[in-house]
Every structure is written in C-alpha cells, then in structure tokens.
Amino acid sequence: MHLFVGLGNPGAKHANNRHNIGFMAVDEIARRHGFAPWRRRFQGETAEGTLDRERVVLLKPQTFMNESGRAVQEAANFFKLGAGEIAVFQDELELPPGKVRVKVGGGIAGHNGLRSISSHVGNDYRRVRLGIGHPGIKEMVHSHVLSDFAKTDRPWVEALCAALADNAGLLAIGKDSTFQNKVHLALQAKGFFPPNEDTGEKPA
C-alpha cells in the first residue's frame, strides 16, 4: 500500500497557484483512474483506489503548506506506513517548468511543506519534484509560488498532470526512473522539450 501526497494550500484563491501543482497532480490521478470520491479525514482530503494492482491512498493536506506534515503523519500512522511507502508531489523552483525528478530523501531547499513532513515522518520519503521554474530573483520567490500559473502555462501544466496520472502506476510498483522518463517523453512528444534533450536517465 502507498500514500501519494499532493502538496498545496486549501481554498479557491489558491487553487491555480504554482505552489498547488501537487494538488493538481493527485486530482488528475484520482480522475483518470476512477478513485473513490474525495472525503475529509486526517486533517486533509483522501481518495482511495488502485494503480497497477497496488492499493493507493491519495492525500491533500488541508492544513496549509507549512503544516502538511500533521496530515501526512496522521494518515501514515492510521495505515501503518513507513516513509518508504510515501511519495510527495511538490512544486520545485530549481527545475525548469514541466521537468520531473523523483528522489528519495535529500534536502528541503526551503520548501515549507517538505520541512513539515520531514519533521513528522522523517526524511526518507520519495519526492516527485515538479518543475515550476525560478523567477530569477530570490526576493520574488514568495510571490512567484503563490501566484497563479499564467494562461500560457496551462498547456504544459495540463500535459504534465496527464502524463503523471497516466504513468502513476510505475511509481506504485517502484519503477521511479521509468516513471520519470515516460513523463518526460510524453511532454517531449507534445513539443514541450527539444527531441534531443537529455532526459536525466542513466544508460542501462
């Protein structure tokens, strides 16, 4: 069993923020794979279903970003899950828009949601890092992540969420590198990355 956590802030005014791309990702997984309806529990909203015959619980903490760990810990304790069975979908400033990297553990790079989760369940969970780009100036980071995606961003955001959802089963069975590569290739096929661009994959 796995817990897939989408990070974001609750409420309509935050729904289209860059900081909420984690919510967008798990919403699309639930929609595409016919998960049960969302319901309130664990200081968040959950939806349950299966991906590649693996039971998966999706969680959207409703505590605001900097307290996300409270909801994650509550859900993990209920289902008796360790950090290794948790994957967190998060916005990532240090990746170009639409890029995806999956990693276990590591630093939090100032991300308040990750800081909270690490303080509650440890650091050895998987991070599905979803690139939103950096504004280029440190002082603009706060307003950048809490601003809505531009209209011109919507095509790649929708394509990214679709690719994440289509390939989410690979995450559920532990094929992180394949998942990452297939998401990249899906966006590349839609023209968002140059055809010869490095996918970040290492040769077999």
Q: Which domains does the chain have, with CATH numbers?
A: 2-189 (3.40.50.1470)
Which element (helix H / strand E) includes 128? strand 126-131
Active-site amino acid positions? 19
Q: Give φ, ψ of 46 to 5 degrees.
A: -125, 155
> CA distances (Å), 83 to each of 2, 41, 62, in order?
10, 20, 20
pTM (predicted TM-score): 0.92
> CA distances (Å), 190 to each of 18, 141, 158, 159, in order?
21, 28, 11, 8
Per-residue pLDDT of the chain (204 residues; tens, 9 = 90+): 999 999 999 999 999 999 999 999 999 999 999 999 999 999 999 999 999 999 999 999 999 999 999 999 999 999 999 999 999 999 999 999 999 999 998 887 778 899 999 999 999 999 999 999 888 888 888 889 899 999 999 999 999 999 999 999 999 999 999 999 999 999 999 888 766 555 444 433
**Residue 201: partners with Cβ closer than 8 Å, 6 or more residues away:** 177, 180, 181
Instruction: Answer whether 43's CB lies under 8 Å from 26's CB.
Output: no
pLDDT in tens, 145-195: 899 999 999 999 999 999 999 999 999 999 999 999 999 999 999 888 766
Instruction: Answer whether 67's CB lies under 8 Å from 116's CB.
Output: yes
Amino acid at 149: F
> In whole angstroms, what is the distance from residue 20 CA to residue 150 CA?
14
Q: Is 179 exposed, middle or buried (0-12, 13-18, 19+ CB in 10 A)?
A: buried
> In whole angstroms, what is the distance from residue 156 CA to residue 124 CA?
29
